[in-house]
A and B are shown apart, each in its own frame.
Chain A
Amino acid sequence: MNIDLAALNAGTLWPEYIVTITLIVVLLVDLISGRKASWSLPYLALLGLGIATATLLPMWILENPVSFLGSFTADPLSVVFRAFILISAALTVLMSVRYINQSSLATAEFYVLLLGATLGAMLLSGSSEMAMIFVALELLSITSYLLSGYAKLDKRSNEASLKYLLIGAASSGIFLYGMSLLYGFSGGQTQLTEIAPRIVNLGFPALLSLVLVAAGICFKLSAVPFHQWTPDVYEGSPTPVVAFLSVGSKAAGFALAIRFMTSAYPGFSEQWQTLFVLLAILSMVLGNVVAIAQTSMKRMLAYSSIAQAGYVMIGLAIGTQEGYSSMILYIGTYLFMNLGAFMAVVLFSLRTGTDEITAYSGLYQKDPFLTLVLSLCLLSLAGIPPLAGFFGKLYLFWAAVQSQAYTLVFFGLVTSVASIYYYVRVVKLMLVKEPSPQVLAYSEAGDQDGIQTLKAGMLITTVATVVLGILFPPLISLADTSLRATPSLQQVRTATPVSRVSTGAQAPADHGR
């Protein structure tokens, strides 16, 4: 077989190459210099992730995004999601330095696995061919299983890993079965865009494959009813891993969902949109209602992340230009607020060794900085103005109202009220006067190296959570550009002409009738 090297267009994968190189370098440095150099590994990983992000920037809008004979599409949509994944991986590294040291786990392998997961997630957000999708998905999944079972002396981590592995493997199987059906129905095509025209008239069989594929994807999104693994895995896994799973892995899942649904099933948009409406409502309701009853912080954040995925799915379910754009923006804001919350949880559990919500009581006196960071991030998750989460939610709801998805907006608003309750409960506990025993024993004396990076990460996420609201307009135009320049989304309808909401208030009021 004769492959034209130019047609490979291999340059679009530079960020991935760099992540791979970093991964190998981390492994080699650890092999060669052993314990002595283990302090430098996280910084190496950070450096690699930074360079990868830098190489991602020039790829913002490419002339020819298709590479590797159609397996990978480096369109702006994938660039946005790859950037999200890189950022969340970098922030995860920041928060794991101290955590790994303190729990005396092997250092190098952790970063190698984390970089592997990052790589899988990045490839997944650009894959446009079924074999490639599956390979990337499995790369992400297998590294995630390993990471969640990383604290091997902890029973709960083992249980989490096993649970995650079993459910994940089953859902991969279902996903694979769906794709094999697609392959068969389309007469042997693996390109998503090639499949679309061939299955348009297929009816029920195509829908069968749609359901199977959606089930596989929804496992990654932890959409209800494919969410059962989330609370247990979040509770058992090492906290930095959970942070990456809740943001990076989810972003990859959403990228996959957008690409798969719009490329392979454009003819069935009504059906899959109805499906996602249902899943979004279930996720919002269950996630928020069950989160109210939680006593462990990580479990509460697990249910909250289920609910947050439900909000993001609103954008997917309405399937308009505004919907996708609001989805991207919400994931972007969610990234910072969720990672910020997890960083605060990591810091607290490093110093007190517990995740119980009641243990946070009275923290205000001992550590105002931690209280501030956690409060702002949780309030942003709840959608309290003027934080980033408020604008993200507002934009999502406005997009939904524009495409007249009133049911979704109704459930979104009602469950938001419920979510305020449990997020504010934590804030309230931190501000009360009576400290918990853990807070009474709270000390910053035992802090050694690694706390500084964690604090830097907390500062970054908090500042982003506060500032993103004011910076929302440029972000919207960024998201819009990425959508407009993405070929597979060209045919997506806009709910209304863009000029619908005028930019000025000075237009004369027409009350005079």
Chain B
Amino acid sequence: MLSVLIWLPVVGALLVGLWPGASAARLRSIALAFATAGVLWSAGLLWQFDPARPGLQFVEFIPWIAPVGLHYSLGADGLSLPLIALNSLLIWIAIYSNAYSGERPRLYYGLLLLAGGGMAGAFAAQNLLLFFLFYELELLPFYLLIFLWGCSEKRGYAAMKFLIYTAVSGFLILGAFLGLVLLDGSSSFAYGEQSTAALPLITQLILLTMLLVGFGIKIPLVPLHTWLPDAYCEASPPVAILLGGVLAKLGAYGLLRFGLGLFPETWALVAPGLATIGAITAVYGAFSAIAQRDIKRMVAYSSIGHMGYILLAAAAATPLSLLGAMLQMVSHGLILAILFHLVGVVEAKVGTRDLDVLNGLMNPIRGLPMVSALLVLGGMASAGIPGLVGFVAEFLVLQGSFAAFPVQTILCVVCSGLTAVYFVILLNRTCFGRLDNATAYYPPVRWIERTPALILAGIILVLGVQPEWLSRWSEVTAESMVTPVQSAANQPKMPAAAASLSPN
């Protein structure tokens, strides 16, 4: 079942790459057909998923390389399934919205589909080495997508920075996995068979730190984030959507799944530090976004800030906060996708991303009224205005974390306010004001450019009003993930961990 989501795009990529003599439009329609099939298939999976059952569903297992312990083992639970579905949706949007940059379509659609298959595989993998395999598989398609279809001259630099940061992150993760399986006496790389309980604390801390840094690069957390603004800004809008919408989620997913899932005891120990880093990330992202003059960079920094909430929620590790973290991943994916898409449209039509040049796009006749309206909606969703999906996620995160880390939580609340500040700056400078009569002859926005944003806006609105449709997948999983942490915290041998869960 899950295999289909991995192999469908890969087959699509091969087909796009090898289809003899096809025109760009034909290639696009092939790629779109495969992406649509992926969306439908993941909708089917969501339909069949039984949210009341903890544990894995749609399990698949094929023995592969036994001496190394690498097996083709897939499964989904409430943590991964929404992300898999998000991945399918965003791949579809990335391919659909690309009609206007048709250069070298064969390679472009092939790489997009390959990246999509790889990300689905990473979310579905239930074997540590298989996860690493898919994780590394992301490296090259995204490098090439940033490098070959990037926006400006700086794209080579940005792509190489992305490549090296991600490669380092991959090898840290591999090192941690190898070390973990060797040291803990478990017998395989199958996820869930490792138990760190018997390991000495210092070893656990080293392994967990490797994982934290490895995934922290990808999320990204604050001292490890410097690849992000460059990579997001240089990437073309569809690639930026995938980078921010899905790839960043891969880091957060890995942190929750492997950091929290494999090291429940040490997690409780390092939680205060993580919560602080999360809060710092949020504050840093917000303040940096305020300082930007480029709307894409603003959105990129806002992305850093929003990922900070996920870390705070993961550190608190209460059922509510974990549910909040999972919701935040999905909602941030949707919001970032709509923002990057709209910013891309604005740039394509107006020809600039500079806040000091943009003005008055809300003008109903000569401006870009619908794009502006959607931009306002996206900005409000990002800032956490009730009625939109961002609010639900943020509120759950904050409510779930307050008991554990009140100071950090309050900092994050302040950041929510700051988010509103920079989005108001953004909207004020872009949408409001007056058009410059000399330059305001913008090409019309076609429906093909509006549709993705309209779909995303619809989803954001519906899930904001009816959050149950988003949270029902993950509730049981969130609770089951918390249990080992709580039991670890209640053990008397770790007073520090216990203290961290009580208000201090």
Contacts and interface: CB of A to CB of B under 8 A. Distances in A.
Contacts of B126: 505
Contacts of A35: none
Contact of B193 (A384, A427, A505): A505
Residue among A395, A504, A513 with the highest chain B CB neighbour number at 10 A: A504
B99 interface: no
B369 interface: no
Contacts of B63: 473, 503-504
A513 B197 contact: yes
B399 interface: no
Interface stretch (A261-269, A409-417, A439-447, A481-489): A409-417
B171 A501 contact: no
B195 A510 contact: yes
Contacts of B129: 394
Contacts of B64: 472-473
B193 A510 contact: yes
Interface stretch (A187-195, A345-353, A385-393): A385-393
A511 B147 contact: no
B67 A322 contact: yes
B164 A505 contact: no
Contact of A390 (B104, B136, B193, B484): B136
B477 to A, nearest CB: 15
Nearest to A365: B104
A505 B188 contact: yes
Residue among B104, B127, B189, B193 with the highest chain A CB neighbour number at 10 A: B193
A384 B178 contact: no
A501 B182 contact: no
Contacts of A413: 171, 174-175
Nearest to B135: A385
Interface string B179-212: 1001000011110110101000000000000000
A384 B68 contact: no
B54 interface: no
Interface string A366-406: 00000000000001000011100011001101100110101
Given A384-B140, A506-B61, A432 B193 contact: no
Contacts of A322: 67
B187 A507 contact: yes
Interface residues of B, number: 49
A502 B67 contact: no
Contacts of B391: none
B109 to A, nearest CB: 15
A384 B136 contact: yes
Contacts of A420: 139, 163-164, 167
B195 A513 contact: yes
A14 B148 CA distance: 53
A36 interface: no
Contacts of B66: 473, 476, 501, 503
Contacts of A39: none
B167 A417 contact: yes
B171 A416 contact: yes
A409 B179 CA distance: 10
Given A421-B164, A432-B148, A476 B136 contact: no
B193 A386 contact: no
B411 interface: no
Contacts of B134: 385
B164 A398 contact: no
A472 B65 contact: yes
Contacts of B139: 384, 420
Contacts of A510: 193, 195
Contact of B68 (A379, A398, A432, A509): A398
B137 interface: yes
Nearest to A397: B178
Contact of A501 (B143, B144, B148, B187): B187
A398 B195 contact: no
Nearest to A393: B174
Nearest to A420: B167
Nearest to B186: A510
A413 B174 CA distance: 9
Given A384-B136, A409-B175, A431 B68 contact: no
Given A417-B171, A501-B68, A501-B187, A431 B179 contact: no
B107 interface: yes
Contact of A385 (B104, B127, B133, B148): B133
B328 to A, nearest CB: 26
A379 B141 CA distance: 12
A386 B193 CA distance: 25
A401 B178 contact: yes
Interface residues of A, number: 48
Given A385-B136, A413-B175, A505 B61 contact: yes
Contact of A502 (B107, B148, B179, B188): B188
Nearest to A417: B167
A395 B67 contact: yes
Contacts of A325: 67
Contacts of A414: 171
Interface string B88-128: 00000000000000011001000000000000000000110
Contacts of B187: 500-502, 507
Nearest to B194: A509
A493 interface: no
A326 B75 CA distance: 30
Given A386-B133, A394-B129, A401-B179, A424 B140 contact: yes
Contacts of B140: 379, 384, 424, 427
A350 B138 CA distance: 34
Interface in B145-183: 147-148, 156, 159-160, 163-164, 167-168, 171, 174-175, 178-179, 182
Contacts of A431: 107, 144, 147-148
A476 B70 CA distance: 13
Contacts of B156: 428
Interface string B380-421: 000000000000000000000000000000000000000000
B70 to A, nearest CB: 7
B69 interface: yes
A447 B362 CA distance: 61
Nearest to B487: A513
A501 B193 contact: no
A416 B167 CA distance: 9
B73 interface: yes
B199 to A, nearest CB: 13
A214 B209 CA distance: 40
B65 A385 contact: no
B71 interface: yes
Contacts of B137: 384-386
Interface in A449-482: 472-473, 476, 480
A513 B63 CA distance: 28
A431 B67 CA distance: 37
A498 B136 CA distance: 28
Contacts of A384: 136-137, 139-140
A166 to B, nearest CB: 39
A424 B174 CA distance: 20
Nearest to B159: A428
B190 A505 contact: yes
B195 A511 contact: yes
A370 B215 CA distance: 36
B101 to A, nearest CB: 13
Interface of B: 61, 63-71, 73, 103-104, 107, 126-127, 129, 133-134, 136-137, 139-140, 143-144, 147-148, 156, 159-160, 163-164, 167-168, 171, 174-175, 178-179, 182, 187-190, 192-193, 195, 197, 484
22 contacts: A364-B104, A384-B136, A384-B139, A391-B65, A394-B70, A401-B179, A413-B175, A420-B164, A428-B143, A433-B103, A473-B67, A476-B66, A480-B67, A501-B66, A501-B67, A501-B68, A502-B188, A503-B63, A505-B61, A505-B190, A507-B193, A511-B484
Given A397-B174, A511-B484, 9 more contacts: A397-B178, A401-B178, A409-B175, A409-B178, A417-B167, A420-B163, A473-B67, A505-B126, A509-B193
